[in-house]
A and B are shown apart, each in its own frame.
Chain A
Amino acid sequence: MLINAKHAFNQHSETVLIEKVKSGDQQAYAALYTLHVKRVYALCLRLLADREHAEDATQEVFVQLWHKIASFEGQSQFSTWLHSVTSNIAISYLRKHKNWLQKVVSFEQSGMDEQSADDCQGLNGLDKLVLRLPERARMVFVLHAIEGYRHEEIATMLGMAVGSSKSQFHRARQLLKEWYENEQA
């Protein structure tokens, strides 16, 4: 009962903050940022597998969010909506930052190296393996297994066929399994 009341209070105060932000209150926006930055950064890090890029993308999310928030009508939870905004911005961030060679030959970027992934604090064993996955397999795995998007939605977001999304997910699972079993051996 107490937990429900606390949750309701938090929801109410978040709604008040959002309304203030919509009217241009930057202090309220700073408070909203504090509430959500860790979730946004975690998602950006998982999708981009690079700490600096994840920080840049997180900043981009909050810069764009300031202008997009007027379109949030409260039909879904704010955190759900924010996750969707974050996923889309992280994906477009990745597209924008591909170099010309990657664009021309559709060269897929590999994931984080094992040492860098191990150095990421706060990540569990699976996350550290996920960061090592190649780009497409990683994004599909994060969006499907962690964020709960359907393959149809992922296909639209990433501009790939539904079948490709499924095969990338399978590929991700195979690699994770192989790495995990090697670690256990």
Chain B
Amino acid sequence: MSKLDFEEFLVESLNRSQTELPPQKDLWPGIEKALSHKLPQQTKVAVWPKLAGVAACTVGALLTAQLLFNTPQQKTGVAMSDYFTEQKQSLLVQYQNQPALTNNWQQQLNELEEAESAIKQALENEPENPALLKMLAQIYQQQLDLINKVHAPKWQQI
């Protein structure tokens, strides 16, 4: 009997369920504010993550191509470093006037740069070691990701 009562209650309640409820405060001013903050940066939001992705993919593609064809003229690690340095500088220039979302991002970047130096040092002894080259590519990618992430224009408060 009670089971039937509950089932009836459930069916009736679901049928009568209010699809609309008003929020207790006016939410529009906050939304409007967030939109006005975000709008001028909209193109950057759309473009930079894509560029970062392209850069990261290019680093990966470069590494793969070098590993496959192993050009004798230039060491793989050196070619990768040159390309990465160019990408990193380009990002840092793009973001130089934009505030970072965290205060300690440069410290994080320094730590990644230290790891980069250690791998480069190891590569001096084994310039074509695939594991080291892969680690170097990952460290480069992490640096690009970090720079992008801390500068990505983001709606932070309403």
Contact partner, B14, options A38, A63, A122, A126, Cβ 8 Å: A126
Please state if A41 and B23 are interface contacts (CB–CB under 8 Å): yes
Contact of A161 with B by CB under 8 A: no
Contact partner, A59, options B20, B38, B42, B158, Cβ 8 Å: B158
Contact of A16 with B by CB under 8 A: no
Tally of chain B residues near chain A (CB < 8 A): 29
A63-B34, A63-B155 known; A51+B24 contact, CB < 8 A: yes
Q: Chain B, 13-25, contact with A by CB distance < 8 Å: what is the 0/1 string?
A: 1101111111111
Please state if B21 and A123 are interface contacts (CB–CB under 8 Å): yes
The minimal Cβ–Cβ distance linking A67 to chain B, given in whole angstroms, is 7
Please state if B6 and A38 are interface contacts (CB–CB under 8 Å): no
A24 nearest CB neighbor, chain B only: B39
CA distance A76 to B143 in the complex (A): 42
Chain A residues with CB below 8 A from B9, complex form: 125-126, 180
B23 nearest CB neighbor, chain A only: A41
Please state if A37 and B38 are interface contacts (CB–CB under 8 Å): no
- Find residues 2-43 in chain A having any chain B CB closer than 8 Å to their own CB: 26, 29-30, 33, 37-39, 41-42
Size category of the A interface is: 20 to 34
- Find residues 84-140 in chain A having any chain B CB closer than 8 Å to their own CB: 122-127
A126 nearest CB neighbor, chain B only: B13
CA distance A89 to B38 in the complex (A): 18
Please state if A41 and B21 are interface contacts (CB–CB under 8 Å): yes
CA distance A46 to B148 in the complex (A): 35
12 contacts between A and B (CB under 8 A): A26-B32, A33-B31, A38-B23, A42-B19, A45-B21, A56-B158, A58-B27, A59-B30, A126-B13, A127-B17, A146-B14, A176-B10
Contact of B35 with A by CB under 8 A: yes
Chain A residues with CB below 8 A from B19, complex form: 39, 42
Please state if A67 and B42 are interface contacts (CB–CB under 8 Å): yes
- Find residues 132-158 in chain B having any chain A CB closer than 8 Å to their own CB: 155, 158
Chain A residues with CB below 8 A from B25, complex form: 55
A39-B19, A122-B22 known; A145+B14 contact, CB < 8 A: yes
Please state if A26 and B28 are interface contacts (CB–CB under 8 Å): no
Report how many A-B pairs have Cβ atoms within 8 Å: 86
Please state if A59 and B21 are interface contacts (CB–CB under 8 Å): no
Please state if A37 and B23 are interface contacts (CB–CB under 8 Å): yes
Contact of B86 with A by CB under 8 A: no
B2 nearest CB neighbor, chain A only: A181
Contact of B124 with A by CB under 8 A: no
CA distance A19 to B18 in the complex (A): 28
Contact of B82 with A by CB under 8 A: no
CA distance A29 to B32 in the complex (A): 10
A41 nearest CB neighbor, chain B only: B23
CA distance A146 to B10 in the complex (A): 11
CA distance A184 to B6 in the complex (A): 10
Contact of A150 with B by CB under 8 A: no
A59-B27, A176-B10 known; A42+B158 contact, CB < 8 A: no
